[in-house]
Structure 1
């Protein structure tokens, strides 16, 4: 997945760089891509709700491979997001790049809520590191996720108050639903959570579904723990939407870790209902 995203991004970038912008009808496409995927916008696009997300919000640079959470919420529940959504994005990258500040700049003074879809790639990256040391590596990664998420919230709120005044932002983060490690990869390179990837790199687990579901439960528990320390953070549980533990139903999945259109419809329905009391949008 990461390879194909990179190839497409490089291809689009090279094409656009070598175009005469005065004559280029794709200039608007470039501008929209930068603003939507990277929160690099030409001025404010005022919005009450922001979003910073990974492939559960945009698998491939806005290309309609599948209608993920962001387009579902925009098209079906009337959300108008300011934000940065890009498949493969990690929480570590968001903090290091200061995307929380860019999204706040983009949304402006009316920004009240930011929806986060992050953490999965921090867990899934470099799976070979887990070999022979699963518990220790997971503990290290969870500690890093916790530190980065708290930093994102604290610095984001400080920045928002300093620039625009008013109350701090409410940050909503959803946990993921259970993977299905026995699914084949739908797109070359998108097999991070697949048993075939585990086998290929030598990560031997007694039961792939038990391994992935246990890890996902631990991640959701971590998010709950962080909400106890950060009053601005609100956690939403999306587990058991796609069939339940230990793995989501194949007919609702695109690949090992992503839902298909029907699956994301179910996830968006649940997410929209659960966040409505905070955002007051969609119903």
Structure 2
């Protein structure tokens, strides 16, 4: 009898830990949207997920058609964002097409509920202005110089992660630059292949509680001489701007956060109670 009770207590402990460490998020069917026709998705269910964030994603392409997705993810936990945040992104391609959008990440149960008012508020809080033709002119030409002269620099303590080949023998065809927003590590290099389908990808994270803005990730591919130098990068960055209005979209209410903290305390006390039964 005692063995059975211990087994049941252990099973209850495992289930409690799993329940307390999981997150309840809305997950819906992805739908097609335009900037003037934001609607709520269909097929929404609340699910207990093994993820870090509940999310709402809005992406639009240059033809003003895009998608809305409500789900959950763990992809950004490595960046150490332990509060609600909005990730804004702009991608520009060499054929003149582009996409821009946002992903709202939140940490409390049901926080990505797809209410139309919330979706509209998210979208209205965001501004991404960009001059695509000017960006392409700075980074791309149909008749590049071969070999291409590129900047070759990294501030990383492990340069091999940046430089992947022998530059004395390399024939540069594409210049590249990347900036890791968490480590602030810069890599300027060149490729021997013409990998230019995407010229620019810039993502920035906006922390909703602390109102801190960080450079999340920056990548640049180009085929003009020294186009991956820092002064060239700064020129390109002046051709577009990001803005997220913190006042229009405040973080979760205190009541929600308080309820979340109370749930954590309850789970902790319950786990201790079960543990003491062993």
- Both structures adopt the same fold (TM-score exceeding 0.5): no
TM-score (norm 1): 0.26
Bigger Rg, structure 1 or 2: 2
Tell me which protein shows more helix as a share of its residues: 1
